[in-house]
Amino acid sequence: MAEALNPSLTRRDAARLLGAAAVAALPSGWTAQRADVDALLGKLTLKEKVSLLHGANDPASKGEAGYVPGVPRLGIPELRLADGPAGVRATADATALPAPVALASTFAADLARRFGAVIGREGRALGMDVLLSPMTNIVRVPQAGRNFETLGEDPLLAAALVVGEIRGIQGEGLIATVKHYAANNFENARQTVDVKVDERTLREIYLPPFEAAVKTGVGAVMAAYNHVNGVYAAENRHLLTEILRDDWRFGGWVMSDWYATHSGAPSLTAGMDMEMPFGVNYGGLAAAVTSGKLAESVVDTAVRRVLVQLDRFGLLGGGRPRPSPDPAGGARVAKEIALAGAVLLRNEGDLLPLGRADLADLAVIGPTAASPLVGGGGSARVIPAGAESPLTALRRQAAPGSRIRWATGVDLEGVPVPASALSLRRTQQGTQQGAQQGGAPQAAAQVDHTGAGALPAGSSWTWTGTLTAPATGDYDLRIQGAGGVPSFNGSISLTLDGVKIGSVGALLGGNSSLIATSGGLTNAGRTVRLEAGVAKPVTVAATGIAGTPLQVRLAWVTPQRRQEALREAAALAKGARAALVFAFNEGTEGADRAALALPKDQDPVVAAVAAANARTTVVLNTGDPVLMPWLRNVRSILQMWYPGQEGADATATLLLGGANPGGKLPVTFPARAEDAPTAPAERYPGVGGVADYGEGVLVGYRFYDAKGVEPLFPFGHGLSYTRFQYGDLSVRAAGGGLTVSFTVANTGRRAGVEVPQVYLGSPAGPPVPMAPRALAGFARVRLSPGERRRVTVTVPRRALQYWSDGRWTLAGGRRTVHVGSSSRDLRLRQEVTIR
Ligand code: BGC
């Protein structure tokens, strides 16, 4: 609050607010040329100041999400703000890193720093100034759409990673934006939902990663869409001023999430400095000042926050030279993190890694084996220059003489709807500009203009007619295409019976799949019930972009084909020595998953393959937990998440034993949907527009431990191709926290990585309801076969505290320190007295 009311904040004050850690996060020399921000502010007109507080259209867009014009006469640069959490989202191809959930699985802050550095350099190279990442909302709801984009369910883990990542991003000179502040933990009704959450839960669970980001000097914070305790996050004084500025001394600026600003002066006064992506509300700030409704000093405070960061990052007065892109360096880090973040969930009888005999006759099943699922959907989607499929990588890496055959199992692609089911007329052909061409309508039997049969670039087409199914059943109707002009609602679309059921080319992905067709087309659509012999009106419309041939296909997967695909997969598996089933879900911004189960009838396929082959492994390309009704019937499960552009190479390397998985789950996998802490409707999605975070601090594993519920796989779980032994625990008090040391030995025959985890038990008779155990520290150690190492983990003082009456208080008394290989595989324990 103090800062908002104090327009005379000086440059020195600003530097003090940024703190030493902030400065340390920049390359040396970057703070040398500080401009006099106050003098600069004095030269700006009111109009110019306001123009720095909201987004605008970019006259020379590079495909970024947001743009703020500069004030060239004073050397204040225009700003380009790009997503996001898994790489730079721009028009140009960029390195598609593994999804942040995979990064979280590494439990490695140094890898987070390297992950951030790839994005930092590439962002700068591609003309960006601000990155809309990292995202560090705690995973609370197992089916939340954006779980893949964030850093897991534990605040201590997320804080450690977010700090590493910000150092990496900002160390390359790109301003990081930590998002979405705060309590934006699911997608359904995200723009309106009111999160009812108590202060202790906020401080202990949802805020620590943001606090850590601020303490490490993050340049910007993004205010979330939702309400928090009745007030929009983007005008929430408690969050934006009392906590962020007064408590944490944040010296950067706050921008709203896209269209998350709901007022002008009240939001600004509450501490929200910049409205994005346009000045719908903030465009009126100058008038509010002129009419006396808003003090200009409040505007100045916000502008100063922006300018201080631009100065700090060397962007004022001509800026800094931009680096060249380093795609090879990006690819190396992408692969390293895909390898390090892979989690071996199960490996009965050490089926993995696959041996020569398995490779001599291997059945590979699943669409994501042949078309890679690189990343999740929405604003975090990054388009890489290319991505190999796991099937290709396996064939490439397997020894000569291997036989690796593939069946889709689940057909996402289908075949062009045959002429026999369609009665079509091509009624219109035009140009992109909409001018109609051609005279009489031409008859068309099918809509299948792909490959050599593609339509001219920039043309636009509409086919109308009827579709008649030969038999009653559920049909997957698919619209597939490429070369459409990017548009908000999609430029290649399919409408059935007046209802749009799929579109390709939508800016935020529409309902198109993250998995392309085998020919590389974007694939969208949905399952509809069709009655035999009933003709349904159908329209396919396509508008192409200049310079790229327009490809359009209307396809379907018939009920019969669905059965066939399953039978083919089972038959292939039956005859093979071993089987690999690739299963997926498609996490995306904007929508939560409807259920925790695998989508698209994948469970029956996994079950059929497992029944047909006793040596079955499941490879998961999911962004978060899924249910596994077939678990006991498969021997091995490798969780690859959305592994980025190098994911296929990493997957094959791990399956074949060229690398040893060492990742650990950053989220609990529930055995049943009803076991999740957010199963009651009032908690998620909420009732009457209110989501009651009534589980309090019992989020993730804390809840399962407190309630004695057995998860499918616990937080921190992850196996290895080798074995680790723990011993010799010692705990001592140090620096207000604890120093915990122990030995870890690799007792197997392969080199491997172990992530020993330290959990702190609650005191007997806790002063407030506490989780039985909470993560208090961790390490990541690589050990050669037979190697034994002494590991020391520092438990910070904060891990011994709880939030009460407006401050952190020690939870003293007898407490148990546990050390283990997961939250449920605790190997060592020692009682300590905390005072
Ligand atoms: C998302 C943000 C993103 C922004 C810009 C919003 O819909 O919630 O995470 O940075 O769009 O693309």
Determine the longest span between alpha carbons in the chain, in angstroms. Answer: 89
Condensed to tens digits (0 to 9), the pLDDT of residues 258-268 reads 999 999 999 99
Condensed to tens digits (0 to 9), the pLDDT of residues 672-701 reads 999 999 999 999 999 999 999 999 999 999
Nearest CA to ligand 1 atom 9: 379
- Per-residue pLDDT band for 426 (boundaries 50, 70, 90) equals confident
Ligand 1 pocket test target in 81, 146, 148, 258 with most atoms within 8 Å of CB: 258
4: closest CA among 217, 255, 272? Answer: 272
Nearest CA to ligand 1 atom 6: 258
What distance in Å separates the CA atoms of residue 623 and residue 24, rounded to the nearest whole number? Answer: 33
Q: Is 149 in the pocket of ligand 1 (CB under 6 A)?
A: no
Cα-to-chain-centroid distance, residue 715: 18
Condensed to tens digits (0 to 9), the pLDDT of residues 191-233 reads 999 999 999 999 999 999 999 999 999 999 999 999 999 999 9
Query: Per residue, what are the HEC states of 537-577?
Result: EEEEEEEECCCCCEEEEEEEECHHHHHHHHHHHHHHHHHCC
What distance in Å separates the CA atoms of residue 573 and residue 3, rounded to the nearest whole number? Answer: 66
Q: Is 179 in the pocket of ligand 1 (CB under 6 A)?
A: yes
Q: Is 84 in the pocket of ligand 1 (CB under 6 A)?
A: yes
Q: Which percentage of the chain shows pLDDT scores above 70?
A: 94
> 257 CA distance to ligand 1 centroid (A)?
6
Cα-to-chain-centroid distance, residue 93: 18
Choose between 377 and 14: higher pLDDT: 377
595: closest CA among 700, 704, 670? Answer: 670
What mean pLDDT is reported for the chain?
93
Nearest CA to ligand 1 atom 2: 257
SS3 134: coil
What distance in Å separates the CA atoms of residue 827 and residue 728, rounded to the nearest whole number? Answer: 11
> 258 CA distance to ligand 1 centroid (A)?
6
Compute φ and ψ for 462, nearest 5 degrees. Answer: -140, 130
Q: Is 173 within 8 Å of 128 (Cβ atoms)?
A: no
For the segment 460-471, the average pLDDT, to the nearest whole number, is 95
Ligand 1 pocket test target in 379, 507, 592 with most atoms within 8 Å of CB: 379
Q: Is 379 in the pocket of ligand 1 (CB under 6 A)?
A: yes
Condensed to tens digits (0 to 9), the pLDDT of residues 25-79 reads 444 334 434 669 999 999 999 999 999 999 999 999 999 999 999 999 999 999 9
Q: What's the pLDDT at 34?
A: 61
16 contacts: CB under 8 Å, gap ≥ 6 = none
> 572 CA distance to ligand 1 centroid (A)?
43
What distance in Å separates the CA atoms of residue 746 and residue 726, rounded to the nearest whole number? Answer: 9
One-letter amino acid for residue 772 of the chain: P
Nearest CA to ligand 1 atom 11: 258
Tell me whether residue 257 is one of the annotated catalytic residues. Answer: yes
Q: What's the pLDDT at 264?
A: 98
For the segment 294-302, the average pLDDT, to the nearest whole number, is 98
> 323 CA distance to ligand 1 centroid (A)?
26
Q: What's the pLDDT at 300?
A: 98
Q: What's the pLDDT at 570?
A: 98
What distance in Å separates the CA atoms of residue 716 and residue 702, rounded to the nearest whole number? Answer: 12
> 783 CA distance to ligand 1 centroid (A)?
40
Q: Is 226 in the pocket of ligand 1 (CB under 6 A)?
A: no
Choose between 667 and 9: higher pLDDT: 667
Q: What's the pLDDT at 318?
A: 84
The token pair that represents 157 in the structure block? 């883990």
> 543 CA distance to ligand 1 centroid (A)?
26
613: left (phi over 0), alpha (psi -120 to 50) or beta: beta
Condensed to tens digits (0 to 9), the pLDDT of residues 557-579 reads 999 999 999 999 999 999 999 99
Of 428-432, 636-640, 719-723, 780-784, least confident by mean pLDDT is 428-432
> 540 CA distance to ligand 1 centroid (A)?
30
Q: Is 111 within 8 Å of 168 (Cβ atoms)?
A: no
209: closest CA among 165, 144, 272, 257? Answer: 165
Q: Is 257 in the pocket of ligand 1 (CB under 6 A)?
A: yes
Give the up-direction half-sphere exposure of residue 37: CA atoms within 13 A in the CB hemisphere: 27
* Marked catalytic residue, from 129, 154, 257, 300: 257
> 280 CA distance to ligand 1 centroid (A)?
17
Q: Is 135 within 8 Å of 179 (Cβ atoms)?
A: yes
Q: What's the pLDDT at 431?
A: 54
Query: Which atom of ligand 1 is closest in space to residue 149's alpha carbon?
Result: 9
- Res 723 pLDDT > 70: yes
Q: Is 132 in the pocket of ligand 1 (CB under 6 A)?
A: yes
> 82 CA distance to ligand 1 centroid (A)?
9
Distances from the Cα of 62 to the Cαs of 81, 638, 753, in angstroms? 10, 37, 40
Ligand 1 pocket test target in 276, 589, 592 with most atoms within 8 Å of CB: 589
Q: What's the pLDDT at 319?
A: 82
Nearest CA to ligand 1 atom 8: 257
What distance in Å separates the CA atoms of residue 398 and residue 357, rounded to the nearest whole number? Answer: 11
One-letter amino acid for residue 121 of the chain: R
Q: What's the pLDDT at 424?
A: 87
What distance in Å separates the CA atoms of residue 600 and residue 485, rounded to the nearest whole number? Answer: 29
Q: Is 258 in the pocket of ligand 1 (CB under 6 A)?
A: yes
Q: Is 55 in the pocket of ligand 1 (CB under 6 A)?
A: no
By DSSP bridging, strand 551-557 and strand 448-449 are: antiparallel
Nearest CA to ligand 1 atom 5: 65
For the segment 816-834, the average pLDDT, to the nearest whole number, is 97
> 136 CA distance to ligand 1 centroid (A)?
13
Of 134-143, 423-432, 667-676, 762-771, least confident by mean pLDDT is 423-432
What distance in Å separates the CA atoms of residue 200 and residue 766, rounded to the nearest whole number? Answer: 15
Q: Is 137 in the pocket of ligand 1 (CB under 6 A)?
A: no
Query: Which atom of ligand 1 is closest in space to residue 84's alpha carbon?
Result: 10
- Res 12 pLDDT > 50: no
For the segment 416-434, the average pLDDT, to the nearest whole number, is 77
345 contacts: CB under 8 Å, gap ≥ 6 = 620, 637, 638, 639, 665, 669, 713, 717, 718, 719
Q: Give 671-716 as a DSSP string.
A: SSGGGSTT-STTTTT-BTTEEE-TTTT--THHHHHHHTPPPSB-TT
Which residue intervals of 313-440 are DSSP H helices?
327-341, 356-360, 367-370, 390-397
Nearest CA to ligand 1 atom 3: 379
Condensed to tens digits (0 to 9), the pLDDT of residues 107-160 reads 999 999 999 999 999 999 999 999 999 999 999 999 999 999 999 999 999 999
Ligand 1 pocket test target in 79, 128, 132 with most atoms within 8 Å of CB: 132
Q: Angle at CA 23, nearest 5°, toward 22 and 25?
A: 70
Q: How many CB atoms lie within 10 A of CB 2?
A: 10
Q: Is 65 in the pocket of ligand 1 (CB under 6 A)?
A: yes
pTM of this structure: 0.94
